[in-house]
Structure 1
């Protein structure tokens, strides 16, 4: 996992599906490493992608924009994409901005992996 000021990001494979894990604050000052990690994953042409935000303790507007961009990129590439979020610090900003309805949100990694598997078959 790559560490940046207030943020850690890394990718592992969960049953053949890239799982990008993020921890810390996801905002204007820390979004670039996450965007770069997602870019690298999308460039491999995966069958699907899961973004795990369960360890994110702050989600700012730049982080929300990053999520929307990742969702749009996945859709353009025809890659099933899911976001794992179970903390109020992530869910509340998504609800307030009404982005929660535009993202495939799941409470656990297992739920997200099952959802993208279903879409990629």
Structure 2
């Protein structure tokens, strides 16, 4: 896979929650596809949205901006939004920029589902 062409794949988990999986780099060159997918999914106003970044191998500032924008977009529409990440190449930039504190960030799919279910309950 080209390092600047992330793959996105959207499925549903736990009774219909959209799960967007991203594979590859999430940077200035590649962020538009992920942002477009997130926007489209959030606009449908599902019960919640999950973004799985466990297979992202590089995240730059544009990737961080995608997460911030998705978080704000989901909040405006009252859609719970959680991010799944367990790898250093995603967690380190989020921690260094202190964006991790603003996001619902989880190491596993199960924890992310539980977090959004608490919000929707």
TM-score by length of 1: 0.94
1:105 Cα offset (Å): 0.4
2:4 and 2:26 in contact (8 A); partners too: no
1:43 aligns with 2:24: no
Larger deviation: 46-55 or 34-43? Answer: 34-43
Q: Which residue of 1 aligns with 2:5?
A: 6
Q: Which residue of 2 aligns with 1:83?
A: 83
Alpha-carbon distance in 2 for matches of 1:98, 1:5? 25
1:96-115 matches, within 5 Å, as: 96-115=96-115
- Gap runs ≥5 in structure 2: none
Pairwise CA distance, 1:5: 4.3
> Which runs of 5 or more residues in structure 1 are unaligned?
none
TM-score, normalised on structure 2?
A: 0.94
Give the conservation status (yes or no) of the 8 Å contact 1:31–1:63.
yes
Counterpart position of 1:27? 27
* Residues 9-65 of structure 1 deviation map (CA, whole Å, 9 limit, x = unaligned): 010000210001001000010001001111111121101000000000101000000
Runs of 4+ residues deviating >4 angstroms: none
